[in-house]
Amino acid sequence: MLECLSFADVHVHFREPGFTAKETILTGTRAAARGGYTIVCPMPNLSPVPDSPETLALEQAAIDRDAVVRVLPYCSITMGRKGLELVDFAALKGRCVAFSDDGSGVQKEGVMLAAMQAAAREDVIIAAHCEDDSLPGTDPRSEWGQIERDLRLCEQTGCHYHVCHISTKESVHLIREAKARGVNVTCETAPHYLTLCDRDVLDDGRFRMNPPLRTAADREALIEGLKDGTIDVIATDHAPHTAEEKSRGFAGSAMGIVGLETAFPVLYTRLVRGGRISLERLVDAMTSAPRRIFRLPDTPQDKVLIDLDTPFTIDSATFASKGHSTPFDHWPVYGRIVKTILNGTVIYE
Ligand code: DOR
Ligand code: ZN
Ligand code: ZN
């Protein structure tokens, strides 16, 4: 049995307000508790987009009403996530954990430069989904080309730039070099990029997400990046959709898979028991690193108890999330979450 600080996920999608057939604050936070998480940060691709104190207040009201774990929402970088006009960073600072247009990349360099200048001035984090819309998303350059651009802007402005869900070997390389130069950059990857590759893809919506699964060489570079600290954080990009939206085969299904209820067992089984990284490194990337980097509330009374020794099989039918689409269904794993404790109170057992 392992007892440690609870997990914190700086990248989830809870779909409320706007898309509550996919997930709600209640079901998303129940899934978090079931996965050993007590802090989660939902992305702003919602309706309305939290891009002002007024629209953010609608999401915050649902959080205040229904959340069973700590929820610290993102605000968007641009109004309506349209990539054109910046939000009022000063007005939103302190009400959200960071700023992201997740779901889309910020296409215009001038807009990203202005966003980073504002973020540096206000001392807030820009968390970037990197995807160049002029290239196919399957082209790895769509991701790393935008990271390369942003690292240059980050160096110019000095803001804290966090790269979401990196998936390519070039992204790892660029961020490693930038960190060595002292650039103020951090990054995350997700469990599926560390454990799967394009050869695993079946014609099934369970394998459809953005960025897509890349090559085995990319997966290996990500594991190396996690090992040497280039990758700071593991975040799930928990992205639930309805069963119908995920039932249209690989090409036709909505992009996104659920991740909160499988992250630790999958990573512990594949990476730690598989001899690739230490348990300490995995736990740091899921507990202390996200708290430190995103200045999340220090919550020593938030704990998770994990059974490391009893094998079990992942069964998506048992998920608390409304989303059940995962490439890890039926995987034999170790690392069942036995208990999740929030501020001294058991919230999942
Ligand atoms: O797979 C994804 N799902 N990638 C994204 O960028 C958005 C997310 C979602 O909101 O479903
Ligand atoms: Zn994204
Ligand atoms: Zn996302």
Q: What do you get for the CA distance between the two ends of the chain, in Å?
A: 14
Asked whether the predicted pLDDT for residue 298 surpasses 90, the reply is: no
- CA quadruple 265, 268, 269, 273: dihedral, nearest 10: -160
- What pLDDT is attached to residue 177? 98
Assign 113 a pLDDT band (cuts: 50, 70, 90).
very high
Mean pLDDT of 229-244: 99
Which atom of ligand 1 is nearest the CA belonging to 131? Answer: 6
pLDDT digits over 162-219, tens only?
999 999 999 999 999 999 999 999 999 999 999 999 999 999 999 999 999 999 999 9
Mean pLDDT of 130-146: 97
- Paired with 160 in beta bridges are 125
Share of the chain above pLDDT 70, in %: 100
Measure Cα distances from 96 to 10, 79, 108 in Å.
12, 15, 24
Active site residues: 237
- What pLDDT is attached to residue 21? 98
CA neighbor of 175 nearest in space, from 193, 206, 190, 154: 154
Asked whether the predicted pLDDT for residue 22 surpasses 90, the reply is: yes
Which atom of ligand 1 is nearest the CA belonging to 104? Answer: 6
Mean pLDDT of 303-314: 98
Assign 105 a pLDDT band (cuts: 50, 70, 90).
very high
Assign 290 a pLDDT band (cuts: 50, 70, 90).
very high
Mean pLDDT of 109-122: 98
Q: Kindly state if the Cβ of 238 falls inside 6 Å of ligand 1.
A: no
| Ligand 2 centroid from CA 256, angstroms | 9
Which atom of ligand 1 is nearest the CA belonging to 241? Answer: 11
- What pLDDT is attached to residue 277? 98
- What pLDDT is attached to residue 87? 99
Assign 129 a pLDDT band (cuts: 50, 70, 90).
very high
Mean pLDDT of 43-55: 99
Q: Kindly state if the Cβ of 137 falls inside 6 Å of ligand 1.
A: no
Residue nearest to atom 6 of ligand 1 (CA): 103
Structure tokens at 130: 């990197």
Handedness of CA 128, 285, 341, 336 (dihedral sign): positive
Q: Kindly state if the Cβ of 104 falls inside 6 Å of ligand 1.
A: no
- What pLDDT is attached to residue 82? 98
Mean pLDDT of 275-291: 98
CB 69, CB 342: distance < 8 Å:
yes
Asked whether the predicted pLDDT for residue 45 surpasses 90, the reply is: yes
Share of the chain above pLDDT 90, in %: 99
Residue nearest to atom 2 of ligand 1 (CA): 256
